[in-house]
Structure 1
Amino acid sequence: MGILNFLREAGEKLFGGSDANAASADDLKKELAKHQLDAEGLDISVDGDKVTVKGQAANSEVAEKIAIALGNTQGVAQVDNQLSVAQPAAESRFYTVVKGDTLSKIAKEMYGDANKYPQIFEANKPMLTHPDKIYPGQVLRIPAL
């Protein structure tokens, strides 16, 4: 999948401070466990605001979700996704949310049909808990239809 870029200041805070420091590899593993995301031989390394993830994911969807869960963490600017995939499929596109976006608006732009927003919502579970809870800077998976 390669390197994905994220807004360092956006994302979920894994620790109580107000500054956007990068999380440790252990913090990031806990974040993945919270979302029930895992890969065989999962290895996460952190170098400043860049996270590298290795291992073997069950499929492309899991590999992509691992990458965006790590990247949508405050303090992370890049994720180098080196996960291999047991069952490859068409890779998703990625979209960075901007102010004023809704899933319907994104679906209209990406698919040509605003009513396809549930596909985007489902593709980003469990990181998304409600279709209205997206924020500027968040990176979303946009799966092929």
Structure 2
Amino acid sequence: MGLFSFIKNAGAKVFGIGKTTEEEAAEAKAKAAAAELRVEEAAAKNLEQTINDLALQVKNLDIFIDDDMARVSGMAYDQATKEKVVLVIGNTDGIATVDDQMTVEHVQPEAQFHTVVSGDTLGKIAKNYYGNAMAYPTIFEANKPMLTDPDKIYPGQVLRIPALD
């Protein structure tokens, strides 16, 4: 025995089984869309809960997910909080784009962002941005509570790189 391939919709045409009317097809499509919407709503609520669990201060936090895009709004306590919220959402499996519509209560300079590649370490990243590998704790602290260990970063992860004071 082995793996056999079939033409997905040929059976209904040949044998007359599984036929659907346009109305049944539209109803099935509407049910599938509603199920997908419920999944996206649940994912948005989970992200909101994660942000609250991480003690990131955002008033009126609202996340909306549509396919692989997330839109976030609310008032972040400061620029660092705003950037961390965007990173929590963007570093979530299945999210490709974050539409940041948040405002900031206490304005600060914006950080740069770095996408981790294979072979990166926080020290190597610090050397690149600050000229000093020993400045890696600054990057680690800027990405807490998402990072729990300076040695646990992964390719594709996006990190905040704040300006040095």
Same fold (TM over 0.5): yes
Q: Does 1:116 align with 2:135?
A: yes
1:87 corresponds in structure 2 to 106
Q: CA separation in 1, counterparts of 2:132 and 2:65?
A: 39
Q: After superposition, where does 1:67-82 map in structure 2 within 5 Å?
A: 67-82=86-101
1:86 partner amino acid: E
Q: Answer 1 or 2: which has greater strand percent.
A: 1
| Runs of 5+ unmatched residues, structure 2 | 1-38
2:13 corresponds in structure 1 to none
> SS at 1:104's partner residue?
helix
2:75 partner amino acid: Q
Q: CA separation in 2, counterparts of 1:125 and 1:53?
A: 20
Match of 2:120 among 101, 121, 126: 101
Q: How many equivalent pairs are there?
A: 125
Contact 1:72 1:139 in 2 (8 A): yes
Could you tell me the TM-score, scaled by structure 2's length? 0.73
Q: CA separation in 2, counterparts of 1:99 and 1:138?
A: 10
2:46 corresponds in structure 1 to 27
Deviations 1:82-137 (CA, angstroms, capped at 9, x unpaired): 11001111000000000000000000011111010000000000000000000000
1:134 partner amino acid: I
Bigger drift between 24-33 and 97-106 goes to 24-33
Deviation (angstroms), 1:30: 1.9
Q: Answer 1 or 2: which has greater helix percent.
A: 2
Bigger drift between 103-112 and 27-36 goes to 27-36
2:112 partner amino acid: R
RMSD of aligned residue pairs (Cα, Å): 1.4
Q: After superposition, where does 1:37-52 map in structure 2 within 5 Å?
A: 37-52=56-71
Q: CA separation in 1, counterparts of 2:59 and 2:82?
A: 11
Q: Which runs of 4+ in 1 moved over 3 A?
A: none
Deviation (angstroms), 1:69: 0.7
Q: CA separation in 1, counterparts of 2:53 and 2:129?
A: 29
Q: Whose radius of gyration is greater, 1 or 2?
A: 2
Deviation (angstroms), 1:52: 0.5
Deviation (angstroms), 1:140: 0.2
% identity of equivalent residues: 53
2:160 corresponds in structure 1 to 141
Deviation (angstroms), 1:45: 0.4
Q: CA separation in 2, counterparts of 1:55 and 1:33?
A: 13
Deviation (angstroms), 1:24: 1.8
